Amino acid sequence: MVKDAYWFILPLLGVAAVSLYFGLTILLIPCLVLTLFVAFFFRNPDREIPSDPSLVVSPADGRVIRIEKTQSGLTRLSIFLSVFNVHVNRAPIGGKLVEQIYRTGQFHLAYDDRASVENERMDLTIQAERQISFSIIAGVVARRIVPWKKEGDTVAKGDRIALIRFGSRVDIDLPDDCELMVKKGDRVRGGSSTLARWK
């Protein structure tokens, strides 16, 4: 479980303790349910990261909801994260984090195509022999993106790089020399699922 969870869990447990002391069962039960949900939401499992350097792994858990060509000729793959997915984001390749830009914006539903360009988000680029850019995007419920790495850091493939609180979306742009290995509707796991292979 990530440490951010304690900002939510400790107050909930405090209210639960007071409710128990005064016999307020009507308040105690919801607090305990919310505590369990927060602990579940902020889970941070270890993952087996593919060692093959030709593989690009998923930066997030969730479901592939869109695959499209951008105007620049890249393949943009969008992953939707529900509140039941792990929300720890990971590096899709190893290399240097050469760009990390936080952009303010709207809070459209993460399913909405406008979310990719209008929502609050963090744009990241990792550079090695090749380069991959991706965006961590806030949704209606998700209002906070917490970076764990900073621009200039070196990351390994599958490293934990950020956390986004509650339902959200991640877009990743794949160059032409990537062979796509997933399709729309597929479910992926951050760090362990392969999205593409360098040709």
Tokens 């792990």 belong to residue: 86
> Does residue 47 lie within any of the structural domains?
no
What's the average model confidence in pLDDT over 189-197?
97
Domains held by the chain: number:
2
Q: In this predicted structure, what is the pLDDT of residue 114?
A: 74
Query: What pTM did the predictor assign?
Result: 0.87
Are the beta carbons of 161 and 147 closer than 8 angstroms? yes
What's the average model confidence in pLDDT over 148-168?
91
Known catalytic membership, residue 168: yes
> Does residue 193 lie within any of the structural domains?
yes
- pLDDT of 12 > 70? The answer is yes
> Does residue 86 lie within any of the structural domains?
yes
| SS3 at position 38 | helix
Q: Give the domain extent around 29.
A: 3-41
Q: pLDDT tens-digit profile of 16-55?
A: 999 998 888 899 999 999 999 888 888 999 999 999 999 9
Say if residue 21 is in the same domain as residue 65. no
> Does residue 46 lie within any of the structural domains?
no
Say if residue 15 is in the same domain as residue 94. no
Query: b/e map of 144-167 (b: 16 or more CB within 10 Å)?
Result: ebebebeeebebebbbbbbbbbbb
Pick from 162, 196, 166: which is nearest to 181 by CA? 196
> Does residue 159 lie within any of the structural domains?
yes
> Does residue 49 lie within any of the structural domains?
no
> Does residue 151 lie within any of the structural domains?
yes
Say if residue 19 is in the same domain as residue 79. no
Q: In this predicted structure, what is the pLDDT of residue 108?
A: 67
What's the average model confidence in pLDDT over 8-21?
90
Say if residue 194 is in the same domain as residue 124. yes
Say if residue 36 is in the same domain as residue 62. no
Catalytic residue among 78, 116, 168, 193: 168
Q: How many CA atoms within 13 Å lie on the side-chain side of 64? A: 22
Residues whose CB is less than 8 angstroms from the CB of residue 33 and which lie 6 or more positions away in sequence, other chains included: none
Residue 88 — pLDDT band, cuts 50, 70, 90?
very high
Bridge partners, 163 (sequence order): 88, 146
Here the CATH number for the domain that contains residue 112 is: 2.70.70.10
Mean pLDDT of the chain: 90
Q: In this predicted structure, what is the pLDDT of residue 110?
A: 64
Tokens 């934990």 belong to residue: 160
